């Protein structure tokens, strides 16, 4: 036994003898908890329970605060407190005692203390900071059990800010001889990675060691980290595929000790996890997938025993096989597996089978055909979960031919369903199907009517919005058909309104009133008066909300032109002009005016006007005179909400001051820094925690307001993206040969003596699975194709569904008409934002290259002369003298003495560089191609991006003061000239501020041209990938594209921020949140602080503002203009750094590079 | 990831609650109530998976449960967990809890299938410890069975020795000396996994 355990053993007797009043205490305590539980079970009412628990809590409170309570009694009390909390009664007074117990108790008491802490507190709880010291102490303990407990609690919850304090200790545990400690340490690091990924980035090599650990437990634990890492970035871990495959092969082959077996299956959960990892790695990657075919096959083969857990493995296997690059042999086996699942009598397996079907049916529709009878049976299954899963499968195989049957089935289910979540989900799906595959207008309107009445208030606001948009803007089909749809809608709504309207949901009422208001004029012989009457009747109904009333009123406003309607409108407006609701009152007045002035009405609300024909003065310039008048009379100027917020926050930041006064620090030596930062470790941490808390409070408040408008929208947007991705994936996967299975239904029919029920099922089957046969398979595969889509919205409507819609749903105050105007407005700005990505004309385009580049709003116009009218500047080997005025601009910056040392290893660059096609071209020859304005800038080495037989692309980064220039050098290495060259660059995370120099339209043989992009990083990322393509024609009429990607780092976008000490001080105080981290000090000759800071300065382009004694202040900015301030102070043997920045994630990212730089030094 | 583990009885009384994601106290109670409501109305012959319910995480959230005698064991998980895997994990955990409770209450002849509800609450803390070994921070851990049983036994002995017959110290020492320390997987050789540890790229 190890010496650690020996020490534990020797410590134990003394530990036990301390608690000598044992026996009696224990007995009574057990009976106390027991008594409590028993008496609760005897109670009959909630009220009595409440009384009892409150009494209990009072007793506990008294006991914990009494000084005579021993730790052992405390332990028992804690269990009772846990019990009370579990029942939902707050026992917050006991939290602090739980921490105390963890701090002071003996091993067993500690354990209860830690447990109570992990159950009571959450990550952001203030009291958690008090636990840090205890954890620190226990991590250093020689007692195995204490170390385990500390690691356990760390992997459950730990304050993010305090990770640096214990990180070294946890890291050290990775080499502990005991596996349990290593395992728990790995899990603790996993936790750290989840809450603060940047903090553990430097120990990735240790994760690898953990993966290679000789103990399977540790290896398993490390897989959790890898699963997470690979999920985020599969490309970086392809090299580990072989290892994962090897591990899985050994696990499957039974190489693990039998202790890991569960029902004779070796380490099933481990297998599941490995399969997950493999499927992530093999996705869309043929070469990686090839490595794993064999082991997947083996897993399938081995997992044929009949226990639940083997099915779990099988299912995972099947999913993996369908996710990675396909191999027909495996797919066949997987399909068989799914078949077994689906027909299984075990209901859980059936469920999984349906799940798997949903997953694969888009790739392999024949599977659904094979199991059509089972699917039909599942539709009538008694378990509603199974039914829903079946509908999900059907949803995936819907096409134009079977849409009516499937939608009917879904609506049937919906009618019986009373679970909100299911309703929301299904209603959305029905609406989507109806829009996509509707066979005719009448069906569409009727289906949507059912959707609206079933979905009620629950459904996603996008559904009615999209529907109205469809009605309004049409869907690309002929005008006549569109009008027909509108008339259908009007007809059906009139019928609905004439019957009982009490049960109609509000959303539906809004849709109805809007459609009637807009389109009832289309129906011949329909008096507006009649519609108005129906609407007025609605207005009087009691359960109509004021939001719906406002919709109805605006519909009436549109209809009020007619003679009879005007009188009615007058009546209504009189009633509502005294309404308490200001919105209604305003609308009533509008209605009054409009109904009395037909001319105005015709001008404001023209019939059938095109939606985009409205012009809106978005700057509200017609109000200018009003504003200036108000200002001249002494009104305060308008401040935008964010400005007001900012001011408020500043006030708040100021009010924080008194809390930090008590700190005894070198205020004299460093007057400008905030008092919070340089001080004793624990104090400062608790303080900065406080400031975080307060800040978080204020910002969440603000966020809430924002979220209500945009939150749902964002969510939907994501979903769309996912769907799109899925469709892309579907398209990318080569169509699998469909087995000739379309005759499933027919072959069944050969049985002559079918019962009536079965016949019905057959009928259903043939209607459900129509269009899925092999002759139609291509159709199915391409169902995402727009051709099969019945209603195609106009492009503009489609690409901006996100913006205006939620706006409308939230702003009930607008009339629907002005809402649409509003929407259009938003759309336009959205569109202009969308066109940020640089469009460069395609290769087939003749003539000068046109750039459709547009700047988005709000980019600092430093490149003024290029923005707006981007002249294609051509830089060729012959023409290289353009742009001298820019070089003048940048020279002062060079004089400022910025020396750029880029951390890139020349060997690799060179090795990459010497490639076929580009041989003979050297760095210097490339550099000589640079126009003067570039060659004077500091820049990185030139590296080869990509090349093919005729073109080679190289890139380098040039560092201008106001932007990072991404320079692309195109060189033609073939014998003939290329034509129609165009370059396109895309990176969503960066802002492309300008483009200069474009590829030549024609590039003669053996010549080069240069173009460059100015890039800005508005949101901090440690690294971003830019992707782009060059298209050209080597042979006339045949366009080729060359793809390239490159990585840019945060450091590329960091520039020094030159300011004085006073300015620094002011700026520091204006940010309230800081991040703290300990960094390595460079020990060398002279002052370690200076040495460290100048190393950072050189590597990261920071500006050292001042160094006073053992403290230094440093500043930098992230392009374009986000400052980040660093306050460094020598503390112990390390450099404590506080960072502040308006961008919350900037300090974290910057810290990562600081750490890296100092590690390398 | 597992978001929560809920154990409650046939009347919806919580018996053991563990959340791996933060929810406010009243939200927790609401989740328990909704979960009980969803689970309790299901027959025994339907599947053990439940989707829907909007409290924990909307579409990405699933309930996987088992019903033993008077107790429901419910795991709330997101879509990244294997359904059947969790279902068996519940079984595994249940077996383990039974086993250890038998150790605790020392009635080895007790029917294995029938963990008494009361035993579970009486030894709530111990059940929590077992849980910690099986699921940590919401992640399923593949651990070997014996290790956990060994830990439970260790606890049991410590507890008993602490239980303080006067000769406690000496006895405790001997008990702990004999204990089966959790380092069972010795001499395992994952063998030929030849993972090179190349110089890591930074990301």
- The DSSP string of A1117-1133 is EETTTEEEEEEEEEETT
Q: Which residue has the higher pLDDT, A1085 or B166?
A: A1085
Interchain proximity B85–A350, CB inside 8 Å: no
Q: What is the pLDDT of residue A275?
A: 92
Q: Return d(Cα A907, Cα A903) in angstroms, integer.
A: 12
Q: What percentage of chain A has pLDDT greater than the value 70?
A: 70
Q: Return d(Cα A483, Cα A475) in angstroms, integer.
A: 11
Interface-testing mutation among A252, A303, A309, A1155, with chain B (most B C-beta atoms within 10 A): A309
Q: Touching check for B169 and chain A: CB below 8 Å?
A: yes
Average pLDDT over residues A1069-1075: 77
Tens digits of residue pLDDT in A47-69: 888 888 888 899 888 888 888 88
Tens digits of residue pLDDT in A986-1035: 777 777 766 666 545 677 777 777 777 888 887 888 888 888 887 777 76
Among B82, B140, B190, the residue with its CB nearest the CB of A219 is B190
Interface-testing mutation among B47, B54, B55, with chain A (most A C-beta atoms within 10 A): B47
- Smallest CA–CA distance, residue B200 to chain A, in Å, is 6
Among A216, A351, A355, the residue with its CB nearest the CB of B190 is A216
Highest mean pLDDT among A673-687, A731-745, A984-998: A984-998
Of A59-63, A223-227, A927-931, A939-943, the one with minimum mean pLDDT is: A927-931
Interface-testing mutation among A19, A112, A180, with chain B (most B C-beta atoms within 10 A): A180
Residue A703: pLDDT above 70?
Answer: no
- Smallest CA–CA distance, residue B52 to chain A, in Å, is 5
Tens digits of residue pLDDT in B42-81: 887 788 888 766 666 566 788 899 888 788 889 988 888 8
Interchain proximity A385–B158, CB inside 8 Å: no
pLDDT confidence bin for A563, thresholds 50/70/90: low
Q: What is the pLDDT of residue A611?
A: 53
Interchain proximity B50–A385, CB inside 8 Å: yes
Residue A906: pLDDT above 60?
Answer: no
Q: Return d(Cα A1061, Cα A1064) in angstroms, integer.
A: 5
Measured from the Cβ of residue A56, the count of other Cβ atoms closer than 10 Å reads 21
Q: Touching check for B178 and chain A: CB below 8 Å?
A: no
Residue A734: pLDDT above 80?
Answer: no
Set of chain A residues whose Cβ sits within 8 Å of the Cβ of B194: 243, 246
Interchain proximity A224–B17, CB inside 8 Å: no
Interchain proximity A267–B124, CB inside 8 Å: no
Set of chain A residues whose Cβ sits within 8 Å of the Cβ of B137: 155-156, 187, 190-191, 194
Set of chain A residues whose Cβ sits within 8 Å of the Cβ of B168: 16-17, 22
Tens digits of residue pLDDT in A706-722: 333 333 333 434 444 44
CB A952 within 8 A of CB A960: no
Largest distance between two CA atoms of chain B? 61
In the sheet that A1023-1035 helps form, which strands lie side by side, from edge to edge? A979-986, A1023-1035, A1038-1049
Of A372-381, A574-583, A914-923, A925-934, the one with minimum mean pLDDT is: A914-923
Q: What is the pLDDT of residue A772?
A: 63
Q: What is the pLDDT of residue A124?
A: 81
Interface-testing mutation among A32, A217, A236, A353, with chain B (most B C-beta atoms within 10 A): A217
**Which runs of consecutive H residues, i.e. helices, occur in chain B?**
25-40, 83-105, 117-122, 124-134, 145-162, 168-178
Q: Touching check for B142 and chain A: CB below 8 Å?
A: yes
Q: Which residue has the higher pLDDT, A1133 or A85?
A: A85
CA R_g for chain A: 35
Set of chain B residues whose Cβ sits within 8 Å of the Cβ of A112: 125
Q: What percentage of chain A has pLDDT greater than the value 90?
A: 1
Q: What is the pLDDT of residue A750?
A: 42
Enter the pTM of the model: 0.59
Tens digits of residue pLDDT in A1091-1117: 888 888 888 888 888 888 888 888 888
Interchain proximity A214–B181, CB inside 8 Å: no
Interchain proximity A1156–B202, CB inside 8 Å: yes
Which of helix, strand or coil describes residue A484?
helix
Set of chain B residues whose Cβ sits within 8 Å of the Cβ of A37: 118, 121-122
CB A191 within 8 A of CB B137: yes
Interface-testing mutation among B129, B136, B150, with chain A (most A C-beta atoms within 10 A): B136
Tens digits of residue pLDDT in A439-455: 888 888 888 888 888 87
Q: Which residue has the higher pLDDT, A839 or A583?
A: A583
Average pLDDT over residues B180-189: 41
Interchain proximity A115–B165, CB inside 8 Å: no
Set of chain A residues whose Cβ sits within 8 Å of the Cβ of B82: 272, 312, 315-316
Q: Return d(Cα A797, Cα A489) in angstroms, integer.
A: 20
Q: Which residue of A has its CA nearest to B122?
A: A34
Q: Return d(Cα A423, Cα A426) in angstroms, integer.
A: 5
Q: What is the pLDDT of residue B103?
A: 61
Residue A882: pLDDT above 50?
Answer: no
Q: Return d(Cα A481, Cα A495) in angstroms, integer.
A: 21
CB B197 within 8 A of CB A208: yes
pLDDT confidence bin for B148, thresholds 50/70/90: low
Average pLDDT over residues A821-834: 41
Average pLDDT over residues A237-248: 89
What φ, ψ does residue A398 adopt, rounded to 5°? -65, 140
Q: Cα A254 from chain centroid?
A: 40
Q: What percentage of chain B has pLDDT greater than the value 90?
A: 0
Q: Which residue has the higher pLDDT, A610 or A580?
A: A580
Interchain proximity B185–A30, CB inside 8 Å: no
Q: Pull the structure tokens for residue A233.
A: 């970035």
Q: How many residues does chain A have?
A: 1161
Which of A378, A1025, A397, A383 minimizes the C-alpha distance to B49? A383
Per-residue DSSP letter, A838: P
Q: What is the pLDDT of residue A1020?
A: 82
Indicate if the alpha-carbon torsion angle A1013, A1014, A1020, A1023 is positive or negative: positive
- Smallest CA–CA distance, residue A34 to chain B, in Å, is 7
Q: What is the pLDDT of residue A614?
A: 59
Q: What is the pLDDT of residue A277?
A: 92
Set of chain A residues whose Cβ sits within 8 Å of the Cβ of B13: 87
Q: What is the pLDDT of residue A24?
A: 35
Average pLDDT over residues A348-364: 84
Q: What is the pLDDT of residue B147?
A: 64
- Smallest CA–CA distance, residue A555 to chain B, in Å, is 35
- Smallest CA–CA distance, residue B129 to chain A, in Å, is 8
CB A129 within 8 A of CB A103: no
Measured from the Cβ of residue A483, the count of other Cβ atoms closer than 10 Å reads 15
Indicate if the alpha-carbon torsion angle A586, A589, A591, A597 is positive or negative: negative
Q: Pull the structure tokens for residue A855.
A: 């700047």
Helix (H) or strand (E) segment spanning residue B51: strand B49-51
Q: Return d(Cα A773, Cα A775) in angstroms, integer.
A: 5
Q: Touching check for B189 and chain A: CB below 8 Å?
A: yes
Residue A745: pLDDT above 50?
Answer: no
Tens digits of residue pLDDT in A345-354: 888 888 888 8
Q: Which residues pair with A1122 in a beta bridge?
A: A1118
What φ, ψ does residue B190 adopt, rounded to 5°? -70, -5
Q: Is A517 left (phi over 0), alpha (psi -120 to 50) or beta?
A: alpha
Residue A678: pLDDT above 70?
Answer: no
CB B103 within 8 A of CB B156: yes
Helix (H) or strand (E) segment spanning residue A553: helix A546-559
Interchain proximity B183–A33, CB inside 8 Å: no
CB A105 within 8 A of CB A139: no
CB B2 within 8 A of CB B138: yes
Of A98-107, A323-332, A555-564, A847-856, the one with minimum mean pLDDT is: A847-856
Q: Return d(Cα A510, Cα A504) in angstroms, integer.
A: 10
Which of helix, strand or coil describes residue A346?
coil
Per-residue DSSP letter, A923: H
Interchain proximity B172–A16, CB inside 8 Å: yes
- Smallest CA–CA distance, residue B66 to chain A, in Å, is 12
| DSSP assignment string, A153-216 | HHHH---GGGHHHHHHHHHHHTT-SSHHHHHHHHHHHHHHHHH-GGGGGGGHHHHHHHHT-SSH
Q: Which residue of A has its CA nearest to B130?
A: A115
Q: Which residue has the higher pLDDT, A574 or A861?
A: A574
> Within a 13 Å sphere around the CA of A183, how many CA atoms are in the beta-carbon half?
24
Average pLDDT over residues A192-221: 84
Of A462-476, A695-709, A751-765, the one with minimum mean pLDDT is: A695-709
Q: What is the pLDDT of residue A506?
A: 85
- Smallest CA–CA distance, residue B99 to chain A, in Å, is 15
Q: Return d(Cα A225, Cα A202) in angstroms, integer.
A: 14
| DSSP assignment string, A680-747 | -HHHHHHHHHHHHHHHHHHHHHHHHHHHHHHHHHHHHHHHHHHHHHHHHHHHHSPPPPPPS-TTHHHH
Q: Return d(Cα A946, Cα A956) in angstroms, integer.
A: 13
Among B48, B54, B128, the residue with its CB nearest the CB of A348 is B48
Which of A545, A499, A678 minimizes the C-alpha distance to A1130? A678
Task: Indicate the average pLDDT of chain A.
Answer: 71
Interface-testing mutation among B7, B139, B154, B200, with chain A (most A C-beta atoms within 10 A): B139
Residue A874: pLDDT above 50?
Answer: no
Q: Which residue has the higher pLDDT, A621 or A304?
A: A621
């Amino acid at each position: 036994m190890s010496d650690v355990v020996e020490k534990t053993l020797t410590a134990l007797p003394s530990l036990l003898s301390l608690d000598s009043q044992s026996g009696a205490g224990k007995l009574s305590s057990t009976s106390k908890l027991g008594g409590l539980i028993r008496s609760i079970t005897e109670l009959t009412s909630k009220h009595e329970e409440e009384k009892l628990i409150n009494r209990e809590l009072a007793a506990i409170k008294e006991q914990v605060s009494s000084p005579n309570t021993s730790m052992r009694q405390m332990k028992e009390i804690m269990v009772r407190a846990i019990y009370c909390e579990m029942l939902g009664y707050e026992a917050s007074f006991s939290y602090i005692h739980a921490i105390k117990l963890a701090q002071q108790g003996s091993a067993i008491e500690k354990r209860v203390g830690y447990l109570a802490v992990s159950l009571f507190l959450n990550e952001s709880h203030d009291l958690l900071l008090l636990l840090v010291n205890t954890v620190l102490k226990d991590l250093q303990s020689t007692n195995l059990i204490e170390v385990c407990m500390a690691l356990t609690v760390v992997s459950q919850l730990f304050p993010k800010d305090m990770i640096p304090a214990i990180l070294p200790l946890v890291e050290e545990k990775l080499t502990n001889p005991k596996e349990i400690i290593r395992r728990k340490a790995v899990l603790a690091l996993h936790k750290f990675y989840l809450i603060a990924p940047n903090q553990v980035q430097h120990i990735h090599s240790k994760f690898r060691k953990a993966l290679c650990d000789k103990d399977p437990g540790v290896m398993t634990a490390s897989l959790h980290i890898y699963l997470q890492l690979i999920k985020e970035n599969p490309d970086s871990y392809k090299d580990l595929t072989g290892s994962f495959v090897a591990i899985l092969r050994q696990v499957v082959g039974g190489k693990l000790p039998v202790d890991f077996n569960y029902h004779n299956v070796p380490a099933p959960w481990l297998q599941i996890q490995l399969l997950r990892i493999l499927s992530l790695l093999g996705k869309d990657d043929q070469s990686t997938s090839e490595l794993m075919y064999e082991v997947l096959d083996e897993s399938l083969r081995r997992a044929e025993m009949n226990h639940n857990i083997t099915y779990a493995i099988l299912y995972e296997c099947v999913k993996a096989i369908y996710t990675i690059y396909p191999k027909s042999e495996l797919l066949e086996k997987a399909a068989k597996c799914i078949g077994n699942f689906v027909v299984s009598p075990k209901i859980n397996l059936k469920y999984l089978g349906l799940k798997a079907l949903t997953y694969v049916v888009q790739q392999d529709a024949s599977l659904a055909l094979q199991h059509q009878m089972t699917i039909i049976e599942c539709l009538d299954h008694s378990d509603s979960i199974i039914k829903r899963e079946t509908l999900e499968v059907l949803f995936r195989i819907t096409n134009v031919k079977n849409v009516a049957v499937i939608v009917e089935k879904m609506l049937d289910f919906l009618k019986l369903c009373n679970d909100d979540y299911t309703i929301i989900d299904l209603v959305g799906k029905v609406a989507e199907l109806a829009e996509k595959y509707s066979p005719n207008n009448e069906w569409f309107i009727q289906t949507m009517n059912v959707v609206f009445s079933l979905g009620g208030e629950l459904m996603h606001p996008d559904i009615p919005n999209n529907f109205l948009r469809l009605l309004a803007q049409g869907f690309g089909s002929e005008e006549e058909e569109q009008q027909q749809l509108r008339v259908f809608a009007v007809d059906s709504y009139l019928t609905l309104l004439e019957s009982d309207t009490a049960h109609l949901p509000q959303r539906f009422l809004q849709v109805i009133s809007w459609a009637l208001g807009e389109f009832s004029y289309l129906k011949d012989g329909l008096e507006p008066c009649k519609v108005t009457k129906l609407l007025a009747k609605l207005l009087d109904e009691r359960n109509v909300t004021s939001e719906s009333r406002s919709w109805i009123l605006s519909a009436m406003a549109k209809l009020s032109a007619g003679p009879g309607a005007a009188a009615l409108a007058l009546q209504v407006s009189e009633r509502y002009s005294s309404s308490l609701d200001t919105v209604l009152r305003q609308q009533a007045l509008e209605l009054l005016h409009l109904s009395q002035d037909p001319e105005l009405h015709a001008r404001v609300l023209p019939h059938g006007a095109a939606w985009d024909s409205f012009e809106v003065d978005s700057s509200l310039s017609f109000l200018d005179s009003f504003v200036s008048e108000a200002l001249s009379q002494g009104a305060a100027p308008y401040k935008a909400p964010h400005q007001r917020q900012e001011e408020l926050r500043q006030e708040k930041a100021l009010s924080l001051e008194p809390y930090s006064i008590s700190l005894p620090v070198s205020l004299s030596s460093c007057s400008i820094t905030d008092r919070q930062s340089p001080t004793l470790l624990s104090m400062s941490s608790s303080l900065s925690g406080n400031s975080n808390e307060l800040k978080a409070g204020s910002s969440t408040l603000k966020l809430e307001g924002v979220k209500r408008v945009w939150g749902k929208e964002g969510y939907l947007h994501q979903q769309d993206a996912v769907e799109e991705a899925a469709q892309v994936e579907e398209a990318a996967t080569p169509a699998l040969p469909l087995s000739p299975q379309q005759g499933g239904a027919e072959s069944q029919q050969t049985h002559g003596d079918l019962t009536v029920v079965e016949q019905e099922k057959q009928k259903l089957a043939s209607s459900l699975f129509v269009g899925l046969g092999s002759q139609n398979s291509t159709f199915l595969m391409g169902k995402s194709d727009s051709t099969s889509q019945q209603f195609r919205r106009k492009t503009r409507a489609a690409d901006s569904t996100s913006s205006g819609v939620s706006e409308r749903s939230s702003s009930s105050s607008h009339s629907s008409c002005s809402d649409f105007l509003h929407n259009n407005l938003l759309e336009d700005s959205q569109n202009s934002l969308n066109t940020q990505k640089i469009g460069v004309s395609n290769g087939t385009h003749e003539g000068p290259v046109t750039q459709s580049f547009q700047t988005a709003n709000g980019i600092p116009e430093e490149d003024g002369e290029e923005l707006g009218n981007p002249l294609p500047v051509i830089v060729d080997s012959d023409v290289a003298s353009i742009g001298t005025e820019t070089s003048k601009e940048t020279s002062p910056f060079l004089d400022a003495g910025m020396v750029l040392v880029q951390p890139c290893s020349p060997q690799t660059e060179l090795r990459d560089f010497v490639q076929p096609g580009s041989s003979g071209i050297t760095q210097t020859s490339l550099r000589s191609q640079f126009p003067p304005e570039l060659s004077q800038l500091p820049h990185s080495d030139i590296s080869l991006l990509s090349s093919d037989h005729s073109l080679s692309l190289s890139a380098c980064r040039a560092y201008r003061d106001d932007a990072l220039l991404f320079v692309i050098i195109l060189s033609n290495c073939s014998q003939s000239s290329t034509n129609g060259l165009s370059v396109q660059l895309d990176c969503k995370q960066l802002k492309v501020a300008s483009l200069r120099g474009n590829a030549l339209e024609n590039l003669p043989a053996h010549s080069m041209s240069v173009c460059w992009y100015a890039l800005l990083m508005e949101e901090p990322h440690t690294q971003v990938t830019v992707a782009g393509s060059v298209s050209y024609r080597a042979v006339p009429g045949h366009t080729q594209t060359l793809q390239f990607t490159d990585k840019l780092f945060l450091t590329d976008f960091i520039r020094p921020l030159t300011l004085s000490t006073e300015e620094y001080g002011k700026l520091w105080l204006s940010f309230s949140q800081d991040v703290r981290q300990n960094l390595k000090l460079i020990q060398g000759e002279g002052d370690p602080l200076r040495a460290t800071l100048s190393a950072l300065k050189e590597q990261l382009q920071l500006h050292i503002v001042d160094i006073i004694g053992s403290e230094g202040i440093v500043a930098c900015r992230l392009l374009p203009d986000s400052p980040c301030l660093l306050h460094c102070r020598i503390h112990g043997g390390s450099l404590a750094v506080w960072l502040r920045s308006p961008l919350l994630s900037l300090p974290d990212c910057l810290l990562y590079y600081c750490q890296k730089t100092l590690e390398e030094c | 990831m597992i978001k929560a583990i809920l154990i409650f009885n046939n009347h919806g009384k919580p018996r053991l609650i563990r959340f791996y994601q933060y929810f406010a106290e009243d939200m927790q109670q609401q989740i328990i109530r909704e979960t009980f409501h969803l689970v309790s109305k299901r027959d025994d012959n339907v599947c053990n998976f439940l989707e829907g319910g909007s409290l924990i995480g909307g579409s990405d959230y699933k309930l996987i449960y088992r019903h033993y005698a008077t107790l429901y064991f419910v795991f709330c998980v997101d879509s990244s967990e294997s359904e059947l895997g969790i279902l068996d994990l519940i079984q595994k955990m249940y077996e383990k809890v039974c086993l250890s409770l038998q150790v605790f209450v020392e009635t080895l002849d007790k029917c294995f299938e029938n963990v008494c509800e009361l035993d579970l609450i009486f030894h709530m803390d111990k059940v929590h410890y077992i849980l910690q070994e099986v699921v940590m921070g919401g992640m399923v851990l593949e651990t070997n069975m014996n290790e956990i049983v060994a830990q439970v036994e260790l606890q049991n002995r410590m507890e008993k020795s602490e239980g303080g017959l006067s000769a406690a110290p000496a006895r405790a020492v001997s008990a702990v000396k004999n204990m089966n320390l959790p380092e069972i997987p010795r001499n395992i050789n994952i063998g030929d996994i030849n993972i090179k540890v190349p110089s890591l790229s930074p990301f």
